[in-house]
Structures are given as structure tokens and as C-alpha cells.
Amino acid sequence: MLFGFPILSTLIWLPIIGGLLILFLGRDRDNFTKWFALSVSVVTFLVSIPLWTQFDTSTSAMQFVEQVSWISQFNIQYYLGVDGLSMPLVLLTTFTQILVIASAWDVIKERVEQYMGAFMIMQGLMIGVFVALDGILFYVFWEALLIPMFIVIGKWGGQDRVYATIKFFLYTFFGSVFMLVAFLYMYFQSGSFSILDFHAMHLGSTAQILIFLAFLIAFAVKVPMFPVHTWLPDAHVQAPTAGSVVLAAIMLKMGGYGFVRFSLPITPDASMELDWLVIALSLIAIFYIGLVAMVQKDMKKLVAYSSISHMGFVTIGMFLVYDIVQNTGSIQGSMIGMEGAMIQMISHGFISGAMFLMIGVLYDRMHTREISAYGGVVNTMPWFGFFAVLFAMANAGLPGTSGFVGEFMVILASFKANVWYGIIAASTLIIGAAYTLWMVKRVFFGAVANDNVGSLKDLNKREFAIMATLAFAVVLLGIYPAPLIEVMHSSVANLLIQATTSKL
Amino acid sequence: MNFVIPSFIPAIPEIVLLTLTSLLLIADTIWSKRSEFATYYATQLILLVVGYLVLTSFSTSQVLTFDGSFVRDAFGDILKLVIVVVSMGIFLFSKEYLLQNKFYRGEYFTLGLFGVLGMFVMVSAYNLITMYLGLEIMSLALYAMVAMRKDNQHALEAAMKYFVLGALATGMLLYGFSMIYGATGSIQFNEMAQIIASGNVDNVVLSFGVVFIVIGLAFKLGAVPFHMWVPDVYHGAPTAVTLYIGTAAKIAAFAMLYRILVEGLPGLVKEWQSLIVMISVLSLIVGAVITLVQENLKRLLAYSGIGHIGFILLGIIAANPDGYSAAMFYTIVYVITALAGFGMIVALARTNNEFDLIADFKGMNKRNPWLALMMLFIMFSMAGIPPFVGFYAKVVVIEEVVQAGFTWLAVLAVVMAVISAFYYLRVVKVMYFDEPEDSTKIEPVSNQLNWAVSFVSIALLVLGLMPSSLITLCYNSL
């Protein structure tokens, strides 16, 4: 609540109700539908700004809290709040949403109201995931998200969209049901579904291991981590541009968020016991999936694999804590890894979103994503080339862009934990640069490859505005990440204390 | 011997129902010649009256009458109200279906009302004989309803199967009843429970009795391995009758399960619990796996219903009041969802086109986006995906088995839920992603049905957003 105004509820329900309205009102009124969707997303973004400006950075406590009894029989509450870990993600969601809506403007021609409605409902649900402080409420948002995404990929996707969307749905559903069982077990132990009560409860070592594994399955599928990542390239390749943007920029973050909100604070001892598992899987993602990205012929697939590789930084950054504490004897040193992971999440949201939008722009014009179909695009689309190179550099982790900050912090932390971790993690600077720049070279530079490329038109005003906004965000975060680090600092410190305090 | 006149008050709804239905039976022969729908409207009116009577005499404490053979309590009253509401829905859907398929007859409704009477008696039975009476009243009505389409080979075959296997099941039940009576010397549930608790009984006979009773119950519920009749009967029967068997009858079967096992044989909980665990596990697995290959939506719903029975039994396994409440909540939710699902088929069925193949739903989003959305609600609620109410039904039963220490069973159940999500998704898939073979707009056969289907489907969402009152109702009734 802010001065008695339920700001978090507004952020959740404004887009959902708007989405439902447009489903019913927007039939055959495409222009109205688009403007309505855009206005709602802009208003939602404006409403979310006070979260940042009024945020108290000195505390790790939950802020803007709303709490109402929902299902009293099981002590399930409608309980919302944000801290430094979730607030930036909420803003990322509201910010990205505007670009998502704008990106679909001229592209979607069939059942526009269903498309816009689905994205608006998804936005509300995603915000719900990040602000829910009750396990069941969290789960409801988490699962409900699958429904609109299922429809979006399956209806507006590419050739094999049905296979991809069912795979996406079943993989993520399979992962999350274990989380539900873990929630129920903890409810049985603590008598409450409140996530804060989960944090405070005592758990034996076997229980912790089982709960940790249940969480790991749920979040690993979502992040996604090797070896349960295979749904992601399929889903990305088949999804329409906006679907890919939402998937990469926000939905993957839900997995990372799950680790910091649930795994580390609720099962610290099991996390310490099994951190090698997460670290190993993350390193495989960073190194091996990076190599896989290099051989892709389809641009979207390349960026999808690159996403998995970059999300490996998020998970490794989070689980380096224990090794660093062992080596240095203080949790202060692990701060940089955790904050690096959090910044990587936000930055990956911008960069991967930008990369998918870029491919979307090309696809709209040429209807192919094969790298080999392009060449010399910069000659016909100079502005587009400018942005593309900027985002590619950011994706490769060039200093001065947001991609550098997070990766650099995590690599530093890796070296503190173990030299080998550091070396493998740092290899991404080479591999990432290789696949991104190679793609840029083949698509944008050189002579104009064929007549199709020759007749391309440069960005229109709408596309320019989208690209420029993202470019601004990427560069701003790259040269001045301090405000972001500041808002999350207290919460990260608190998280590290929770993660390193034994519950046994 | 002095004859004590029992108190009739607690049984007023049943008495009124019986009287009015009997009168309607006679009236129908006269009415049907003049006004086609008089019997239908009278049926709905009778249900309204009975529902009103139950509601006004709602009892929060247990009242026994008729020498202890009949009970009135909150558990029973809630189930009766659900039966009344669901039956009203069933008859509404049936009327249009019977008209479409040209076998509209008044008997359908009178038989249906007798079935409801049987269900009421089962819900309120407090000794083995009353239970048996109720069961037979209901079953006989159902057998006749399945066989009502005399010209349809499938329906006749289904009726035959249903009758023979149903009789077998009843035989098993009776055999079990006789053993329990032999061991305890009583047929009354509370006395049986006391005698068993005292320990002066032959345990071998009792154990055998429990086995036979559980087999009989499993037959009636349609749980694995006694489920073979379910798909054939659901498929073969006219959809309106499937609607009746698949929904209202399930509530009565659940009531029977609860009354006999929990109120009559609580002392044997160890024996029946292990049996129910087996039946539940098998039902969950068969319900999830065999459903995968079904091409007919009625068969799909039949097999998935077996899986849902597995979930209901999970609550019973917990063997405590909270577990039973969870099972009751699941039953009610399942029945509402199934009503919507079968109702959808009924609403779209036309003369010569049953509209029960999954392929019939191809491209539904193009042909009628509103109904496609309603079907999506139904399918996701069945799959147990939030924010639909089916999710909470699964959560409460799983929560109770976890609490009872059967965590492995909870994990198995959620894995089966994931597998079953696949075939519900398939229906959504064909509706939204496949191209329709015939692009004309599909409309329900009548406006009334359009409203009815939409109402029930939206209820799944509304109950999902605000499940609190229904959950509390179930938890406070035991």
C-alpha cells in the first residue's frame, strides 16, 4: 500500500481486467484494440514507477504490503509485497510490456483482440508471480501463466507450433507440480502458506533435501537449466516475436526468482549440500550450450541457446555463496556474485528482448530466419544495423553495456570460489562474442546478398522508438548500474544471511 | 409389542419427492397428449420444492429416525442440495437433447426423479438395508434410462452391460453386508461401529466382509480394477443419460462410500485403507494412461472420470474428517465440471451428429469463440490448472494425503495429473490451433443451453477465484 492505495493489486488486476475487456469488446475493431492495449500498458507502467521512487532502500523488509484472508480454511491469504529482489523484476515487466504491445502493432492481423488480451492477462499474472507472498497465490499466478502462453504460441506461432506449445506446457507443468507438493508439505509443518513463514520455519536435513530437489525441478525447467532446457529453443523458434520476448525477458526470470525467493532461504543446508549440482549444471549451460549456439543456422534458435547460456550466469551466481564463504570466511565476498546474478537477470531481460525484437523486424520483412538468407543488411537498413550491432555487443558482454556488468560480477565471484569455475565461466566472453558477432557479420555486413535484402526498408518510426528505448536501457544500465544495485542491496544482504544460516 | 410411530419430519424431502413423483407418473400419461413439456416443467418444479424443503430444514446436528435407519445431518443435506441443483441442470440439458434426437418422452423425467429419490435415500441411509434400498431405486432407474433408446444398438448393449455388471456389483455388496451382519449382529452403522470397537467379533469374517464391500463400492464408483463397464456405458448411453450417470450418481456413490466405510466400519480402517490405496493408485494410473489414446470425447471423459475417482479416494485414504471433507469437495467440484463437460456435448449435439468426437471440436475457436473459451475453462479445470476450481480440489486432497503421511502417493498423483493434462490440452489444441473442416458457425441447439453451458463454465472460474465458501462448507459439514 502506498498512502492507502493498493498499488500492487492495481498492477496485477489492471492489465488482467483490461485484457478480459478487450477480449469481449475488441472483435473486429483492431485499431481500438491496439490503442486500448497500449494505453493500459502505459498506465500500468506509470503506476509501477512509485514502486521505485518510494522504495525504502534501507530495509530488506517487504514493502507496499497488502494482506487479506482468501481461503480461511487453509490459512491461504491474498498476500502481496515487494522487496529489493522482486521490485526491479516488476518494473522490468511493466517496461517490457509496452514494447511487447508495440512490437505486434502491424504484424498481427488475425484475431488481434485475442492476441492483445492474452498478453495483457499474462502481464498481470507475471507481476502476480513476483509480488505474491503466499505460496498458493504464487502458484496460482505461476500456473495460470501457462494458459495464455500456450494459446499464443499455438495460435500465432510458426510451422511446428503445436508440438512446441504442448512441449512447453507439459515441461513447465511437470516441473511445477513438485513445487506444489513441497508447499503442501511445508504448510503441514508450519500451518501457513506465507512465504515469510516458510523462510522462518525449521526443517530437518532429509526434508530440506527433498524440498530443495522439488524446487530445483520446478525452477530448473523454467530458467531453463541443462538438461531440461530442450523446450526453450522449440518454444522460441515457434513463438511469435512478442511471445519470444515475454518468454526470454520475463518468464525465464521467474525461475531465477524462484531460487532466491524459495530455494536459498527455505533450504539453506540442502542448498549448501547440493550447490555443486547447480553449479555444474550452470557451467555446462554456459560452456556447452554456448557452443551449441555457435552452430545454429536459425537466428532465433541461436538467440534462444544464447539465452540458456546467459541464464547459466544467473544460477551460478546465486549458488557460489557457499564456496566463497568457505574460502574467504565471510559472506561479504559472495555479495558480488548474488548481485551480479540479479543484475544479469534484468540485463538479460533487456538484451534478449532486444535480440528477439530485432529478429522479429527482419522476419516481418523477409519471412525467414535463416542466417544464410541474409547478408549486407546494413547497406539497406543502416539504422537497424546500428542497433543490431549495439545489442549484439551487449549480448557478447561488451563493457559499457548492461551485459558486461552482471557477467563481470559473476565471473569475479567465480574466481573467488574456485579458479576453474572462473575460467569456464569466463570462456563465455569468447564463445558469446564468437556466436553473436559471427551472426552479425553474416547477416549485416558484406555485400548485399540478394535482391530480397536489396529491397529491404529501414526501421519505421514505431520500430525505431522501440529499439531506441531498449538501447537507452542497455547503455544506461551498462554505465550506471548503481541505482539498481542500491535498491537490491539490503535485500541481497538479508538473503545471504538467510542462505548461510543453518536451519538444522 | 407396542408400535412407536416414528418421526417423519426429518424425511419430509424424501416423502414429498416420492409422493409428487408418483403423482407425476400418473399425470404424465394424461399431460403428454396435450402439452409436450408439462412433465419437464413439473419435474423442475418438484426439484425446486424438494430443494427448498432441504434448505429450510437444514440440520446442523445428527438426527436419527425410523428406528435408526435414516439419518439427517449437514453432510447429507449439502450433498442433497448439490444433487438437486445438478439434477436440475441435467434435466435442462436433457430436454433439448431428447428433442434433438427425437425420443422426447415424459418417462425420462419421471425415471430421473426416481433416480434422485434413490440418491436421497443413499445419502441419508443409516443402516445396510436402507442403503441397499436406495442403491437399487437409483440403479433401476438408471438401467431403464440407459435402455430408453430402443432403436439404438449401442444403447441397448450398454444397458445390458450396465445391468449385468451392476447386478454383480450389488451382489458383491450384499454378500459383504451379510458377512458384516453375521460378525456384528447388527445392520445399523453406529451399532456396527460400537460392536467392532468392543473387539468381541470374528475378525476373519469381518475382513472378508470389508473386501467384498470395497469391491462392490469400487464397481459402483467405477474405480480400477472394476471399471470395465464405465467407458462402454458412458459411450453407448444417450449423452443425456451419460450426463446423469457421470455426475449426480457419483455424489450418491460417494455418500455410500462415506456412510459405510467411515460411519459403519471405522474400526476396520486399517483393512479398508490399504484396499483403497490400491484401488486409488490403479485408478489414477489407468485414468491417466488409457485416456491418452481416446478419440471420442465421451470415452475420454469416462476414462478421465476414473482418474478423478482415484483423486476422490485419496481423500478417503487420509482417514480423518479433513480428508473426507477434501474428498467431498473434490466430488462436488468434479460433478460440476463433468456437468459442464457433458453439457457442452449435449448442447452441440444435433440430429444424426452426436458431436462427441474430439475431431468435431476442430477449429472451434473460429466457429464459435465464446463456446471454445468455455470449453477451455472446462478442460483446464479438469486438468487442475489454476485459477479454475479444479485446481483447489486437487490441492485439498493432495494436502490431506501429505498430512496423513502418504507423500509418495501425493507425488504419484501429481505426476498422473501432468500426464492427464496432455489429453485435456489436446482438446484445447484442436479447438484453437486446428483448421475447421467445416467453417460454418456452430451454435448450441437452443439459446437456453448456450446460457446454461456458459453459466456452469464461468462458475468454474468464479469458484476458482473464490473457493473459500465452498471449501469451508465442506469442512464444516463433518
Cell reading at B284:
489414477
Assess whether the previous peptide bond of B467 is cis (omega < 30° from 0).
no
Assess whether the previous peptide bond of B225 is cis (omega < 30° from 0).
yes
pLDDT at A121: 93
DSSP, res B357: B
End-to-end Cα separation, chain A, in angstroms: 36
Longest CA pairwise span in chain A (Å): 69
Place of cell 517487504: A62
Q: What residue type is assigned to position B169 of the chain?
A: A
Taking CB atoms and an 8 Å cutoff, what residues of chain B touch A179?
Answer: none
Task: Render the burial of B373-393: b for 16+ CB within 10 Å, e for the rest.
Answer: bbbbbbbbbbbbbbbbbbbbb
**Can you tell me the distance from the alpha carbon of B74 to that of B60, in angstroms, rounded to the nearest whole number?**
5
State the smallest CA–CA distance between residue A208 and chain B in angstroms.
Answer: 14
Task: Render the burial of A418-427: b for 16+ CB within 10 Å, e for the rest.
Answer: beebbebbbb
Q: What residue type is assigned to position A301 of the chain?
A: K
The answer, yes or no, to whether residue A2 has pLDDT greater than 70, is: no
Q: What SS3 class is residue B353? A: strand
**Can you tell me the distance from the alpha carbon of A219 to that of A253, in angstroms, rounded to the nearest whole number?**
10
pLDDT along chain B (478 residues), means of 10: 76 92 89 80 93 87 85 91 94 87 86 94 92 93 88 86 90 92 89 87 86 91 87 87 90 92 88 91 91 87 91 91 92 94 87 81 87 92 91 91 89 91 90 83 83 92 89 85
Does A155 contact B at CB distance below 8 Å?
yes
pLDDT at A212: 93
**Can you tell me the distance from the alpha carbon of A367 to that of A359, in angstroms, rounded to the nearest whole number?**
10
State the smallest CA–CA distance between residue A498 and chain B in angstroms.
Answer: 27
Q: Which residue has the higher pLDDT, B203 or A89?
A: A89
Cell reading at A227:
538438461
Does A114 contact B at CB distance below 8 Å?
yes
| Cβ proximity of A48 and A306 under 8 Å | no
At CB < 8 A and 24+ separation, what contacts does A216-219 make? A216/A263, A216/A274, A216/A277, A216/A278, A217/A174, A217/A175, A217/A178, A217/A179, A218/A175, A218/A176, A218/A178, A218/A179, A218/A258, A219/A175, A219/A179, A219/A255, A219/A256, A219/A258, A219/A259, A219/A262, A219/A263
Chain B residues within 8 angstroms (CB to CB) of chain A: 365, 369, 376, 380, 385-387, 391-392, 395-396, 398-399, 402-403, 407, 410-411, 414-415, 417-418, 421-422, 425-426, 428-429, 432-433, 467-468, 471-472, 475
CA distances from A336 to A86, A341, A407, B72, B443 (A): 18, 8, 11, 67, 61
Strand partners, B63: B72
pLDDT at A188: 86
Confidence (pTM): 0.91
Average pLDDT, chain A: 88
DSSP, res B6: P
State the smallest CA–CA distance between residue B389 and chain A in angstroms.
Answer: 11
Cell reading at B11:
424425511
Looking at the partner chain, which of A151, A180, A187 has a beta carbon nearest the beta carbon of B414? A180
CA atoms within 13 A on the CB side of A128: 25
State the smallest CA–CA distance between residue B227 and chain A in angstroms.
Answer: 27
Looking at the partner chain, which of A71, A165, A169 has a beta carbon nearest the beta carbon of B471? A71
Q: What SS3 class is residue A160? A: coil
Q: Under 8 Å CB-to-CB from B132, ≥6 apart: which residues?
A: B170, B173, B174, B177
> Per residue in A176-199, pLDDT tens?
999 999 999 899 888 889 998 888
A191: left (phi over 0), alpha (psi -120 to 50) or beta: left
Instruction: Mark yes or no for CB contact A154/B380 under 8 Å.
Output: no
Q: Do β-strands B70-72 and B63-65 pair in parallel, antiparallel, or remain unpaired?
A: antiparallel
Cell reading at A459:
526501421
Q: Under 8 Å CB-to-CB from A330, ≥6 apart: which residues?
A: none
Sign of CA dihedral A153, B376, A253, A422: negative
| Cβ proximity of B310 and B388 under 8 Å | no
Does A72 contact B at CB distance below 8 Å?
yes
End-to-end Cα separation, chain B, in angstroms: 37
Strand partners, B188: B127
> Per residue in A367-401, pLDDT tens?
888 888 888 888 888 888 899 889 998 988 888 88
pLDDT at A1: 61
**Can you tell me the distance from the alpha carbon of B80 to that of B117, in angstroms, rounded to the nearest whole number?**
10
> Per residue in A137-146, pLDDT tens?
999 999 999 9
State the smallest CA–CA distance between residue A143 and chain B in angstroms.
Answer: 6
State the smallest CA–CA distance between residue A289 and chain B in angstroms.
Answer: 28
**Can you tell me the distance from the alpha carbon of A341 to that of A396, in angstroms, rounded to the nearest whole number?**
16
Q: Which of A308, A309, A305, A311 is nearest to A259 (CA)?
A: A311
Average pLDDT value for residue range A293-321: 89
Nearest CA in chain B to A138: B386
| Cβ proximity of B347 and B433 under 8 Å | no
**Can you tell me the distance from the alpha carbon of A80 to that of A66, in angstroms, rounded to the nearest whole number?**
5
DSSP, res B224: T
Q: Where does the pLDDT of residue A3 fall: very low under 50, low under 70, confident under 90, or very high at 90 and above? A: low
**Can you tell me the distance from the alpha carbon of A116 to that of A108, in angstroms, rounded to the nearest whole number?**
9
Does A25 contact B at CB distance below 8 Å?
no
pLDDT at B1: 55
Neighbours of B31 (CB within 10 A): 18
Sign of CA dihedral B79, B314, B219, B288: positive
Residue to substitute from B425, B431, B470, interface A, most A β-carbons within 10 A: B425
Instruction: Mark yes or no for CB contact B410/A181 under 8 Å.
Output: yes
